Structure 1
Amino acid sequence: MAENDPFPGEDNTGHIWDGNLRELRNPPPRWWMLGLWASILFVVGYGILYPFWPTADGYTKGLLGWTQIEEYRRGVAQVEAVRAPFEERIRGLTAADILADPELTQYTVASSKVLFGDNCSACHGSGGQGNPGYPILADDYWQYGGTPAKLVESIGQGRQGSMPAHGEILSATEIDRLARFVTELKSGEPGAEDGWSLYRAKGCVACHGQEGDGVVVRLPNGDVITVGAPSFRNGIWRFAPGGYESARYTITHGVNQPGRPGSREAVMPDFGASGRLGEQEVKKLAVYVHQLGGGL
């Protein structure tokens, strides 16, 4: 092939395609070769200094003794050293005490973001916006109370609401009227008198309150007592998508009724009593959640 080379005097391999495409033997530039050898030397040097080369029972440890896990531990120690004074200050305080101190509140909210993400965001959303079937934490409505003490109680002890299934207690007409009545109140309407009469006659006031706002008792000091029953005086629906059909379904099948097919499930696990989180973490989460929704 070389004897038929149409490019005599050119240092090519003799492989010619389409009349003028050929493979040359030109050496690479000197800078490129220097870079190649430098990179080889760098890899060898790196392998000597740091963990690198595989062996029969593991890997070489490197002359510097550096490991990623040790680097991580040093980083954690640095962070904990910065946090330690704040953690010590809030250790003996209640959630309300922390909220009374702007500096501690700022620290607690900042240091609890990951805590919230690891334990709460799967159900309540990364910003407390809620998910289908789970309460919103970013509004100012609190089903069990939004005071710091109530939030600590909810997170630490968990919540499990209960509503009897009325499918076999009430007639279809009564269920229909109560569902429409709830929808009326949720829409901001005062509610028809026949709806109020049925609401009171069937004992709904025992949990949802005389005014349908979820308040069972109002104390002289302004505090209220609730049993966790939702209020009908706002546009927030506990179970998606809300509306008449959703209300009718809940009234018929109830909430957390063992052995009742179709019963709604509304359970929040206890993070403190179960030992999943410590007292300090529960307290910090209560502050974080309080600030999400402008708690009471």
Structure 2
Amino acid sequence: MADNNPFPGENNTGHIWDDNLRELDNPPPRWWMIAFWASILWVVGYAILYPMIPGLTGYTKGIMGWTQIGEYREGLDEVEMVRAEFETQLQGMTAKEILANEGLSSYTIASAKVLFGDNCAACHGSNGQGGPGYPVIADDDWLYGGAVETIEQTITNGRMGIMPAHAKLLSEAEVDKLAAAVMSGNPAAEPLYMEKACFACHGPDASGMQALGSANLTDAVWRFSEADQLASVKQTIRHGVNDTSDPLSREAVMPKFGDRLSAGEIKKLAVYVYKLGGGQ
């Protein structure tokens, strides 16, 4: 930095670098100063109109009385006004009637998405794809049937099917034969299927009974899907499902929501789940 100013008459600070780099002492442009003072005035005006300045016991409220919660409630009231027309119609309709009305069906699906996320997605996945040990509800395979009325009943009252444990009734060789028959997709062809009365729950053709909630053993859709599916089938045959007499029995319980959700919310969920993969 030079000690002497080699640029006489120039409005600089006298700080010179590398012979010609210097710091000028000119005022800011007028437009910049106008914007600067305008921003100060804007802050003052904002502080007068809206909540802003904190204090020891609170904050300035502003002369407009605006609050975030107030704006939220106003927005919520607007949403409720839009929804009111649809909600009024839904009150007097069954889930099946809602499905028959394209407009109401679309509205119900949109409004039930949050309900599904809050109450169902933890077990069945965000899109009904199922989670480990929990059934898929986005396909057309239903233990109790996929009619919307049945789905509504399931959500309301829950489900808990029972598969008796057979570890004490079957030899290991018999378990192996039955498991292999189930994996083949045609367990009814195995003589043991009839001899051990498997047909009593799963039907003479092994396609299941919706009245009992017994699984279809011919479609290769697994309630308990695991890497070693044959071993999984053997586990189920040996120890059953929800059999309290066997500590190794699988647990498969659909909780009831009739005491948690309103009838209207359950109806919406039934429509939503049906649209994911309902069917007869």
TM-score interval for Structure 1 and Structure 2 normalised by the shorter chain = 0.7 to 0.9
2:261 matched residue in structure 1: 277
1:56-102: CA deviation from partner (whole Å, max 9, x where unpaired): 22222221111111211122222222222222222122212222333
Q: CA separation in 1, counterparts of 2:98 and 2:221?
A: 29
2:206 matched residue in structure 1: 212
1:36 matched residue in structure 2: 36
1:173-217: CA deviation from partner (whole Å, max 9, x where unpaired): 1222221111111xxxx3473x2x2122223223222221112xx
Amino acid at match of 2:202: H
Preserved contact between residue 183 and residue 220 of structure 2 (Cα < 8 Å):
no
The change in CA–CA distance for 1:147 and 1:6 in structure 2 (over 3 A counts) is: same
Deviates more, 1:159-168 or 1:254-263: 254-263
Amino acid at match of 2:242: N
Q: CA separation in 2, counterparts of 1:293 and 1:67?
A: 44
For residue 21 of structure 1, report the CA deviation from its aligned partner: 6.1
Q: CA separation in 2, counterparts of 1:60 and 1:25?
A: 40
1:102-143: CA deviation from partner (whole Å, max 9, x where unpaired): 332232222222222222222222222222222222211111
The change in CA–CA distance for 1:12 and 1:110 in structure 2 (over 3 A counts) is: same
Q: CA separation in 1, counterparts of 2:220 and 2:24?
A: 78
Preserved contact between residue 11 and residue 26 of structure 2 (Cα < 8 Å):
no
The change in CA–CA distance for 1:237 and 1:13 in structure 2 (over 3 A counts) is: farther
Percent of aligned positions that are identical: 55
Preserved contact between residue 161 and residue 255 of structure 1 (Cα < 8 Å):
yes
2:219 to 221, 231, 234: 234
CA RMSD of aligned residues (A): 2.6
1:3-61: CA deviation from partner (whole Å, max 9, x where unpaired): 25676656246374x77666554544333333333223222222221122212222222
Preserved contact between residue 207 and residue 226 of structure 1 (Cα < 8 Å):
no
Preserved contact between residue 51 and residue 60 of structure 1 (Cα < 8 Å):
yes
Give secondary structure in 2 for the equivalent of 1:267: coil
Q: CA separation in 1, counterparts of 2:225 and 2:40?
A: 62
The change in CA–CA distance for 1:264 and 1:38 in structure 2 (over 3 A counts) is: farther
TM-score by length of 2: 0.87
Preserved contact between residue 187 and residue 206 of structure 2 (Cα < 8 Å):
no
Q: Which structure 2 residues correspond to residues 64-213 of structure 1 after superposition, within 5 A?
A: 64-185=64-185, 190-191=186-187, 193=189, 195=190, 197-213=191-207
Q: CA separation in 2, counterparts of 1:111 and 1:291?
A: 13
2:15 matched residue in structure 1: 14
2:234 matched residue in structure 1: 248
Give secondary structure in 2 for the equivalent of 1:214: coil
Preserved contact between residue 12 and residue 22 of structure 2 (Cα < 8 Å):
no
2:279 matched residue in structure 1: 295
The change in CA–CA distance for 1:65 and 1:208 in structure 2 (over 3 A counts) is: same
For residue 279 of structure 1, report the CA deviation from its aligned partner: 0.4
Deviates more, 1:231-240 or 1:102-111: 102-111
Amino acid at match of 1:253: H
Amino acid at match of 2:119: N
Give secondary structure in 2 for the equivalent of 1:14: strand
Unaligned runs of 5+ in 1: 216-224
Give secondary structure in 2 for the equivalent of 1:266: coil
1:195-254: CA deviation from partner (whole Å, max 9, x where unpaired): 2x2122223223222221112xxxxxxxxx521122112132111226212212222232
Amino acid at match of 2:177: R
Q: CA separation in 2, counterparts of 1:259 and 1:43?
A: 73
Q: Which structure 2 residues correspond to residues 253-268 of structure 1 after superposition, within 5 A?
A: 253-258=239-244, 260-268=246-254
Unaligned runs of 5+ in 2: none
For residue 170 of structure 1, report the CA deviation from its aligned partner: 2.0
Q: CA separation in 2, counterparts of 1:58 and 1:192?
A: 77
